[in-house]
Chains A and B, each alone.
Chain A
Amino acid sequence: MIRLREMDTIFQNSQRQGRFSFYMTCRGEEAIPFGAATALESQDVVLAQYREQGVLMWRGFSLQQFSDQCYSNESDLGKGRQMPVHYGSRALNYQTISSCLGTQIPQAVGVAYSLKLSAANATDDGRETKKAVSLCFFGEGCSSTNDFHSGLNLSATLKCPVIFFCRNNGYAISTSVKEQYAGDGVISRAPGYGMAAIRVDGNDVFAVHAAVREARIYALENNAPILIEAMSYRCGHHSTSDDSFRYRSVEEVQHFANESDPLIRLQNFLKHHKYDNMTDDDFRIMVEDEKKAILYAMRKAERKPKPSLEDLFTDVYNEMPPSLKAQQNQLNEHIAKYPDSY
C-alpha cells in the first residue's frame, strides 16, 4: 500500500511536469485493491474500472511495467496504444482497462460464464481446472449506467460466479452520491436482483479482504453472483484533468484524510499489535526505499525508445488485411524516402 501511494504521488507529479498526458491516483482507496487482491486466487479474472492498479501491483506487475505504460514507450505491453493508467495483463488475468464506463460489468458476467463452463467441462474429461471467479470493480457513479443493471440481472439469471465490487468513494468527478442515487447506496439494488450482498468499510484492508474471501467462497459454492459495496472516500482529484476544490471543500478532504486514511489505519494497527516491533522510523525507511525504486523505474522508462511505427497497423485484426498491408507498405516506402524525418 505504501508502494502504491508513493507511485501514485510520483506519477501524478510527473504528469504535472508534462512527462505524460494523464494520470489517476487511488489516494484514500488503497485498502480496496489490496484487500481484494489478497483474497483472490491468481486464476480469478479481474475486470477493473481504472482506479484499481493496486490489484496488478499485488499480482506482480512491476514498477517498470507501470512506468513503461504511462510513458508509452516500446516496452509498454499495450504497444503505446492506450492512455496512461489503462493497464492490462493477460498473464496476470487483469483485463485491459476500457475508458467507456460500465462496459466491464456485463463483460465480467461473460467471463464468469466462461469460467463456469470450463470448470464444469473439467470434471467431465478429468482435466484439472482450478475453479475461478471473475471480479468486477466499478465506482458508485458507474452503477447508474445501463450496463450495471443489465449485468447484475444477467449474472443472477445465468447463475454466474462473479463478484461485483463497488468502490463507493463519494464522487463521480464532481457528481456527489447525493445526486447519483436516491436510495440507500448501491448495495440496496442486490435484493431486487435476487442477489447476496455485503457492505464493508472500504478503508479497512482486513475487512475488505474478509468480504472478498467470503464472497469468493459463496460465488463458487452456489454458482451465483454477489455484490460488495465498499465505503471509502476519493481523497485525490478525479484525474489530472480535474480540480476537485471547485466542488468540494479542502476541509472535507482533510477530514477524511485525517480520520480514515487506510494507510494510517493499517500502520496504527501494526504498531498497536507490535507487529515486527515496527517503529515510525521503519515506516519512513519503507517510504524512502519505495520512492527510490519508483524514480529509478521512471527514469529508465523515460530513456527507452518510443513504440515503433512498425506496430501501427498490427492487431487491428488478427491477420492484417490487404488494405492495411498496402498502407503499411506505403508508410515504409515513405520512411525509406525521407529517413531523416523519422
Chain B
Amino acid sequence: MTVREAICEGLDEEMERDEAVYIIGEEVAQYQGAYKVTKGLYQKYGEKRVIDTPITEAGFTGLAVGSAFHDLRPVVEFMTINFSMQAIDHIVNSAAKQFYMSGGELACPIVFRGPNGYSAGTAAQHSQCFAAWFGAIPGLKVVAPYSSEDAKGLIKAAIRDPNPVMVLEHELMYGVSFPMSDEAQSKDWVVEIGKAKIEREGSDVTIITFSKEVGKALEAAEIMAAKGVSCEVVNLLSIRPIDREAIFKSVKKTGRCVTLEQGFPQHGVGAEIAAMIMESDTFNYLDAPMERVCGADIPTPYATELEIAVFPHVDDVIAAIERTTFRTIAA
C-alpha cells in the first residue's frame, strides 16, 4: 500500500467513525487534493464533509480553528506546508494556545496536514522542512510519518487527539509502497503520538531521524553493516512531544549518535537532540561527539546541480557515521 493510500484510508476510517470529522482545503474535494491524497472521500461523504475552498489559507484555517473550538474535528489540508505560513497566526497563536489561555475551556481538536520537506525542482518557497518551526510551539503536537503504517496510524491518532496536531507528510513518499501488517490494516490501528520506533537495531551508533530521511538512514545502515559497523536507526515519528526515553536508551547503548534531517541546521531538530543529550546523563555515555547531518544553511536553490548540493545524501550520512565511529574502526 502506498503512503498516499494509507493516509486516505486513515482519513476514511476516522470520518466513518466520527461524524464531526471533516476535511477542508484547496481542491481537496472534486480534484481529490493536489497530491490526490483525499481520493474518493468527496464521492463518499459529500460536500458537507469534504470542502473545497477559495484560495485563502488564512481564511479557511481560521474557519477550521473556529469550528474546532465549537465541537467539530477539522482536518485542514495545505497544498504544501509552505502555504501554511499564510495561516501561521491561526495555527500558532490560536489553535496551539487557546486551550491554555482559556483555562482549559476551549479545546482545539484540529489536524493540519500536507507535504513538508524538500521536493524535486521546486526551489526555496516550496522545498524546505518546517519540523523545527512547529516543533518549537507549546500546545501543538507535531508528527512525521515515514512508512504507510506510520502514515495511517499517525493520521488516525492525530484526528482522535483532543489537541491540535500538525502532520508533516512528504511529497516524495506519497507514491512509495510499503507492506501493511494485519494490525495496520485494522480500523483500530493507531500509532501513539510521542513514541519513536526502532527501525533497525544496532550496537555501534544510533542514527536519529524522521520522515523520508529514515529511508536514507536505513540505506546507510545497510552499507555500514557491510563495513562491520552496526547502526541503530531511530524513526522519531513524533517531533513534539519527542521521545526522550527512546533517544537516551539507544544512545546509551551505542555510545554514538548521528542525527539526520532535511531542515536547516540552526535551531533544528538535531540541535534540540544535542542539547537534550548534553543536559542528561546520556552525555556521559558518549564515546564521540555527536554529528548532525542537515540541509545546507541557505534557501533551497532550483538548478538540479545546486539542489543536489544542499540536501543530505546517503554518502553524507555514511561520512558522519564514519567520523563518529572512527576510533572503533581504527581500533
Q: Contacts of B302 on A, CB cut-off 8 Å?
A: 72, 78, 80-84
| Choice from B54, B120, B121, B299 contacting A144 with Cβ under 8 Å | B54
Distance of A123 from chain B, by nearest CB (Å): 39
A145 within 8 A of B: yes
A174 to B304, CA, bound (A): 29
Q: Contacts of B305 on A, CB cut-off 8 Å?
A: 80, 306-307, 309
The segment out of A37-45, A95-103, A128-136, A202-210 that lies at the interface is A95-103
B303 within 8 A of A: yes
| Choice from A81, A144, A174 contacting B124 with Cβ under 8 Å | A81
Q: Contacts of B67 on A, CB cut-off 8 Å?
A: none
Q: Contacts of A306 on B, CB cut-off 8 Å?
A: 303-305
Is the CB–CB distance between B59 and A246 below 8 Å?
no
A79 to B126, CA, bound (A): 18
Given that A146-B56, A181-B54, A307-B306 are known contacts, is A316 also in contact with B123, CB under 8 Å in the complex? Answer: no
Is the CB–CB distance between B303 and A72 below 8 Å?
yes
Can you list 13 A-B pairs, Cβ within 8 angstroms, ordered by A?
Answer: A73-B303, A80-B303, A80-B306, A82-B302, A83-B121, A100-B82, A142-B55, A144-B54, A144-B56, A146-B56, A175-B52, A247-B31, A324-B297
Q: Contacts of A175 on B, CB cut-off 8 Å?
A: 26-27, 31, 52, 54-55
The B contact surface, by secondary structure, is loop
| Choice from B54, B56, B58, B299 contacting A81 with Cβ under 8 Å | B299
Distance of B4 from chain A, by nearest CB (Å): 16
Size of the A side of the interface (Cβ < 8 Å), in residues, is 44
Given that A83-B121, A86-B123 are known contacts, is A101 also in contact with B55, CB under 8 Å in the complex? Answer: yes
Interface digits, A289-312 against B, CB 8 Å rule (1 contact, 0 not)? 000000000000000001101011
Size of the B side of the interface (Cβ < 8 Å), in residues, is 35
CB proximity to A under 8 Å, residues B108-129:
120-126
Given that A146-B58, A175-B26 are known contacts, is A81 also in contact with B123, CB under 8 Å in the complex? Answer: yes
Beyond contacts A81-B299, A99-B123: 13 other A-B pairs, Cβ-Cβ < 8 A, are A21-B120, A79-B301, A80-B305, A83-B123, A102-B86, A144-B56, A144-B59, A145-B56, A145-B57, A146-B59, A173-B31, A312-B309, A316-B299
Distance of A147 from chain B, by nearest CB (Å): 8
A78 to B301, CA, bound (A): 10
Nearest first, the 5 A-B pairs at minimum CB distance are A80-B303, A21-B121, A144-B54, A72-B303, A174-B31
B223 within 8 A of A: no
Is the CB–CB distance between A98 and B31 below 8 Å?
no
A327 to B303, CA, bound (A): 19
A21 to B310, CA, bound (A): 18
Q: Contacts of B34 on A, CB cut-off 8 Å?
A: 173
Q: Contacts of B58 on A, CB cut-off 8 Å?
A: 145-146
A114 within 8 A of B: no
Is the CB–CB distance between A312 and B86 below 8 Å?
no
CB proximity to A under 8 Å, residues B26-48:
26-27, 30-31, 34
A318 within 8 A of B: no
A141 within 8 A of B: yes
| Chain A: CB-nearest residue to B305 | A306
| Chain B: CB-nearest residue to A81 | B301
Distance of A41 from chain B, by nearest CB (Å): 30
CB proximity to A under 8 Å, residues B47-69:
52, 54-59
Q: Contacts of B30 on A, CB cut-off 8 Å?
A: 174, 247
Q: Contacts of A20 on B, CB cut-off 8 Å?
A: 121
A256 within 8 A of B: no
Is the CB–CB distance between B297 and A327 below 8 Å?
yes
A61 within 8 A of B: no
A313 within 8 A of B: yes
A172 within 8 A of B: yes
Distance of B205 from chain A, by nearest CB (Å): 22
Is the CB–CB distance between B298 and A324 below 8 Å?
yes
| Choice from B27, B31, B121 contacting A22 with Cβ under 8 Å | B121
Is the CB–CB distance between B83 and A81 below 8 Å?
no
Given that A86-B123, A144-B55, A312-B310 are known contacts, is A173 also in contact with B303, CB under 8 Å in the complex? Answer: no
